[in-house]
Amino acid sequence: MVTRVLTAVLTLVALLGLSASASAHAELESANPAPGSSVEEAPLTLELIFTEEVEVDGIDVHVLDPDDEDVHAGDAEVDLNDPSRRRVTVSLQANLPPATYTVYWRTRSGIDGDEATGGYTLTVTGEPVPPTPTLAPGATPAPPATMLPVEANGNPLGTEDENFDGRAFGLSIGAGLVVVAVLVFFWRAVRPSNPVFGGRARG
């Protein structure tokens, strides 16, 4: 009896681990300059931070101007000095004119090889960006546009979760059903005998 219960518990643990690994993607966590922000001058380097390890040869970043022309000056690189391998940099051409640029990225996870894609915009104004207004004492500030969270798929340009992982969702549901089955089985194995309805209690 105990052996069967332990086997069921170990199976549950294995399913939960499989579910976690199946949902692993290197999604965009933050960027500098921030996604959707405006800057006076274009930086010479963009910094992108992802949610998990990115394969060294599994990163691709394109920065396009309004005419869909590439304006990056070199290939994106995973920062080898970052132990987590989550930091990626890409250099830009110097003296980019004022415009709204689009950053597209594609990653391959260093954990399980799954790929993810996304993008965001960055606006170069060519003039000083207005400072954040000063709030009256006791007022609650609204979150600035540059601090808005990235969408679930790492793409502020859209609202749909294009990288929804149905496999991980299905495994999670299956794991939950296994939990219920194990609890019911364990309860039936150790519940007290009921002398009214019979069962194990016999004279």
| Residue keyed to tokens 């980019």 | 96
Query: Strand order of the sheet with strand 38-39?
Result: 38-39, 115-124, 99-109, 54-64
Q: Give pTM, 2 decimals.
A: 0.58
Confidence at residue 127, expressed as pLDDT on a 0 to 100 scale:
84
Q: Classify the C-alpha dihedral 147-152-158-163 as positive or negative.
A: positive
Instruction: Choose the weakest-confidence range: 8-17, 59-68, 113-122.
Output: 8-17
Residue 203, pLDDT > 60, answer no
pLDDT digits (tens, 9 = 90+) for 156-189: 444 444 444 555 556 566 666 766 666 666 666 6
Question: What does the pLDDT average to over 1-8?
Answer: 48
Domains of the chain are 24-130+142-158 (2.60.40.1220)
Confidence at residue 136, expressed as pLDDT on a 0 to 100 scale:
58
Question: What does the pLDDT average to over 94-118?
Answer: 94
Enumerate the β-bridge partners of residue 78.
88
Confidence at residue 22, expressed as pLDDT on a 0 to 100 scale:
47
pLDDT digits (tens, 9 = 90+) for 125-138: 988 866 656 555 55
Q: Please, which residues have CB within 8 angstroms of residue 27's CB and are 6 or more apart in sequence?
A: 50, 51, 107, 116, 118, 150, 152, 153, 154, 163
Q: Of 49, 58, 35, nearest to 88 (Cα)?
A: 49
- For residue 202, the Cα-to-chain-centroid distance in whole angstroms is 58
Question: What does the pLDDT average to over 5-20?
Answer: 46
Q: What percentage of the chain has pLDDT greater than the value 70? A: 51
Q: Compare 68 and 18 and report the one with higher pLDDT.
A: 68
Residue 5, pLDDT > 50, answer no
